[in-house]
Structure 1
Amino acid sequence: MNRRYLILSPLVIIAVCHVAARIARQALGPWGWAPAVVLYWGLLGATIAMSGRTGALRRWTAPARSARGWTALALLVGLIPLPILAQNLHLLADPVILAAWLLFALINPWFEEFYWRGLLLDATARWPAWAGTAYSTALFVAFHPAVAGVFSAANRDPVALAALGLMGLAWAAAYRRTGTLRWAVASHVLVDLGNLAVPVFLNLYVPPHLG
């Protein structure tokens, strides 16, 4: 895939997923998030495959270089939403929601980190580091209200989006400094568990300040 098209691919993915999310919402109600997410993962995976950079998968999952401080930062970021989980465990009482929550948190971070951090930061490697990081992070944040926000109020919340931006910046910095996405993925798993991603999609959890 041409590098220019690769760099522009987030705009296409966001647009396609936005339309699909609206259709899924009308057809399936709150659970329309599930096919929308599967489509999203499919598009991310297909873009990585067509980029010709699948060989980078080994590098993205390699052990970290030195820079333990950046590894620690990535993991600390993952702890930010854990109080939400601790205060709302009752939302996971339904076995179907519990299973979906676990599966989402174990699958989603791999696709998102490989695409938003690995692929896009590699594709913009000729840019100044701050520009590539800002571009990737801004579009990563924009995806959430444009697509996930079709289903949930929390994904349209400015406070949540600001926190998401800080997480994206930390994960990008950790990748640049350690040369691996291992710790960004691990942190992202913690975030998706802690922020109750599936109950959020179903609007079972809405940030108190939005209530």
Structure 2
Amino acid sequence: MKAKMLVASFCAIGMSGAFSQSKFEGFYGQIGVGYENVNPSTSSSGITFSGIGTVPASTSISSQGSFVGVATLGYIAPITKDFLLGIGVDYEPLNSQSGNFAYNVAGTSVNGNWKKQNSYNIFLSPATPIGADALLYAKVGYSSAQIQSTERAFSYTTNLSGYMLGLGYKQIIRGGLYGFGEINYASYSNVTRSYAGSFQGFSASGSNTLGANSVNAVIGIGYRF
């Protein structure tokens, strides 16, 4: 009888440890700062004049690195004792620094600048505990951003969407307070903008295509509620 009681007690302790609550389980909020590099790409169809033909055009655009701030809200749930799954939303409240672009046609160049703004991610986050106070996690999800382009007195915004991937590490500091560091990559699909008008009595039309990708490295603090 004593042997059976000891075995039962040992199993109960083992089961309790196996299903104990992670220190990162539940709702959390975090803020981070770091560096982000945005690498846009652009191309042009040229300008087509009705009854005449198409005048080829060339484009160039610079990449831009700048300070980035990220605010995140999310929730982490246990799947097994060694596997957690989170869901969350990132938002970047600050615009990037401006980059430059140029549009060249028939020996005439139009110069302007661009900046990335209103960027956010919606992601799933598989994770695994490392010891009692740390967490290694990945991120995969949907990403959205706007590129605002300005040339002379004209300004227009292109909405980009795509996917994001990330990898990060969290470490408990005290209670629910933790520090974290992560690297994120986003790739946005190309968007084509068409335009039409008239020049010297001829109807003219064309299109420009814009895409982008970005990489950021962020460190910060968070709190698990």
Q: Which TM-score tier does this pair reach, normalised by the shorter chain?
A: under 0.3
Which structure has the bigger radius of gyration? 2
Q: Which has the higher contact order (CA 8 A, sep 6+)?
A: 1
User: Which has the larger helix fraction?
Assistant: 1
Question: What TM-score do the two structures reach when normalised by structure 1?
Answer: 0.25
Question: What TM-score do the two structures reach when normalised by structure 2?
Answer: 0.24
